[in-house]
């Protein structure tokens, strides 16, 4: 079921082969109809994620099989619902929670077909650009730091690649829980901005000794929780910087190289190192509900403020992906429709 006066065609982004940003093509297709359990969203804004760059390159944990669409996060208005979906959703302004397979659905376009279970209302005070910039970052950080890590007042939390949207969310969550955030970035170029966004300490890893600085900040204790999307050989330094009995959460593989398990460092320190993803949060309904409420409430209170680095129109999706690959941004890259 759908509203009347819907355009018969829509522009969506697809790629027909894996590769660089230039493989993304804006194509006009017949307006798709939602199937069982699905809705069609009239998209207003799209939040970009590093996962989509890897998916486009054919290097993501979920493999792409072109031609295909891509994208996890969009904000918009429900304009059609499929069988089995509550018709009261029609006309609702919502955003999508990354809770579906990257190879099953994609939101880059003027419209997006998504499962109804992926929808969530975002705080009314947010714009669509902000509404599409909350779930991936805050739910990812929440799962590792609050649900699993159970950070509390006085805990030291080491957050690598902290200028990403997830990194900034982790800084805000650490502050909300009374923990001390130690953010890392490669050079001092983003240092002042990260401090202004709430980081308690910032380490420029190409200019400073990470292990030494963490030791100084923590009084020799080390970080009880380490939140890292990079992996690779750098985990050895993270293990050295971790506290006795600490845990290192690996939620990405940006290093694009094998990640060793530094046994001789972890043994005497009784460290845990584990893989983690947002799907640990969103796959369990009760956990997802609790996590979404946590994020929603903190946004309403003003504790969390989604930071948008730069916006691009849909026609410049290639440029938006190039900008993400440049690593120049601090916060979320958003595409407007």
Whether pLDDT at 305 is above 90: yes
Q: What is the pLDDT of residue 125?
A: 97
Whether pLDDT at 278 is above 70: yes
Token pair for residue 266?
A: 């972890």
Q: Is 37 left (phi over 0), alpha (psi -120 to 50) or beta?
A: left
Predicted confidence (pLDDT) per residue in 180-230, tens digit? 999 999 999 999 999 999 999 999 999 999 999 999 999 999 999 999 999
Mean pLDDT of 115-122: 98
- CATH match for 9-134+306-336 among 3.40.605.10, 3.90.180.10, 3.30.590.10, 3.40.50.720: 3.90.180.10
For the chain, give the percent of residues with pLDDT over 90: 98
Query: Band of the pLDDT at 292, cuts 50, 70, 90?
Result: very high
Query: Band of the pLDDT at 5, cuts 50, 70, 90?
Result: confident
Residues near 232 by Cβ (< 8 Å), separated by ≥ 6? 253, 254, 255, 256, 257, 258, 259
The DSSP secondary-structure symbol of 64 reads P
**Residues pairing with 14 in the sheet:** 25
Q: Which fold has domain 136-279?
A: Rossmann fold (3.40.50)
Closest CA to 278 of 38, 41, 44, 49: 49
Let me know: does 328 contact 305? Beta carbons within 8 Å: no
- CA angle 190-192-198, nearest 5°? 105
How far is 170 from 141, CA to CA, in rounded Å?
5
How far is 144 from 159, CA to CA, in rounded Å?
11
Whether pLDDT at 4 is above 80: no
Residue 135, CB half-sphere, CA atoms under 13 Å: how many? 28
The answer to whether domain 9-134+306-336 and domain 136-279 are alike in fold is no
How far is 159 from 149, CA to CA, in rounded Å?
13
The domain limits of the chain are 9-134+306-336, 136-279
């Amino acid at each position: 079921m759908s509203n009347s006066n819907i355009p018969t065609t829509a522009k969506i982004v697809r790629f027909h082969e894996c590769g660089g940003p230039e493989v993304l093509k804006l194509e006009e297709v017949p307006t798709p109809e939602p199937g069982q359990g699905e809705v069609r969203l009239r998209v207003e804004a799209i939040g970009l994620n590093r996962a989509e760059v890897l998916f486009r390159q054919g290097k993501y944990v979920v493999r792409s099989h072109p031609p295909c669409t891509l994208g996890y996060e969009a904000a918009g208005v429900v304009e059609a619902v499929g069988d089995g979906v509550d018709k009261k959703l029609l006309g609702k302004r919502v955003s999508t929670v990354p809770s579906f397979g990257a190879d099953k659905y994609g939101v880059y376009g003027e419209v997006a077909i998504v499962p109804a279970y992926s929808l969530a209302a975002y705080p009314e005070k947010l714009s669509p650009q902000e509404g599409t910039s909350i779930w991936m970052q805050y739910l990812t950080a929440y799962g590792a730091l609050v649900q699993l890590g159970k950070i509390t007042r006085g805990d030291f939390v080491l957050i690598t690649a902290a200028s990403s949207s997830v990194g900034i969310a982790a800084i805000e969550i650490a502050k909300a829980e009374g923990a001390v955030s130690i953010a890392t970035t490669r050079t001092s170029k983003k240092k002042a901005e990260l401090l202004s966004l709430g980081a308690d300490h910032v380490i420029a890893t190409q200019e400073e000794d990470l292990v030494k600085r963490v030791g100084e900040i923590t009084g020799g204790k080390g970080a009880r929780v380490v939140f890292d999307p990079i992996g690779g050989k750098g985990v050895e330094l993270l293990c050295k910087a971790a506290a006795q009995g600490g845990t290192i959460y690996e939620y990405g593989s940006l290093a694009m190289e094998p990640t060793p398990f530094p046994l001789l460092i972890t043994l005497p320190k009784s460290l845990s190192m584990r893989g983690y993803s947002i799907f640990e949060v969103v796959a369990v309904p009760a956990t997802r509900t609790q996590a979404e409420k946590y994020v929603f409430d903190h946004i309403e209170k003003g504790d969390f403020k989604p930071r948008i680095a730069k916006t691009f129109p849909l026609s410049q999706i290639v440029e938006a992906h190039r900008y993400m690959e440049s690593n120049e941004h601090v916060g979320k890259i958003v595409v407007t429709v």
